[in-house]
Amino acid sequence: MVGALPGPIVLVKDFNFYQSVTVTAAAFGTNPDVMINFRGQQNLRFDIVSGAGIVSYSFNGNTVHGVLTPSTSYNTITFLDRPNKLIWFSTSTGTSVVRVEAYRI
């Protein structure tokens, strides 16, 4: 059993990322919806956590690289060894909230 910690661990860089994004735009914007703020990110995961909108995602803001569909087996995707720092989202139907997680080992 580990004893109580004196507080948050602040002496090392945190290599975990989390952001919740409400997607309402019908097209990719000029600026990315997500900017992951550390180098060497290896694993990336998107999940639709609420809403009925089908969500497209892009790693360059121009090309649709994939689609997340709510209430199906395609409502989540995990990328291994894919270091993308910038992510854009758009939806053609409704509104959805997408959870984005990334980490480095």
CATH code of 56's domain: 2.60.120
Q: Is residue 28 part of a domain?
A: yes
- Over residues 8-15, the mean pLDDT reads 67
pLDDT at residue 81 above 60? Answer: yes
pLDDT at residue 102 above 70? Answer: yes
Query: What digits encode the pLDDT tens for the residues 18-72?
Result: 999 999 999 999 999 999 877 776 788 999 899 989 999 999 999 999 999 998 8
3-state helix, strand, coil in the chain (%, to 5): 0, 40, 60
Q: Is residue 2 part of a domain?
A: no
Q: How many domains does the chain have?
A: 1
Place of tokens 């689609």: 67
Q: Is residue 7 part of a domain?
A: no
Domain span at residue 67 reads 16-103
Q: Is residue 67 part of a domain?
A: yes
Amino acid 12: pLDDT = 65
Contact 66, 77 (CB under 8 A): yes
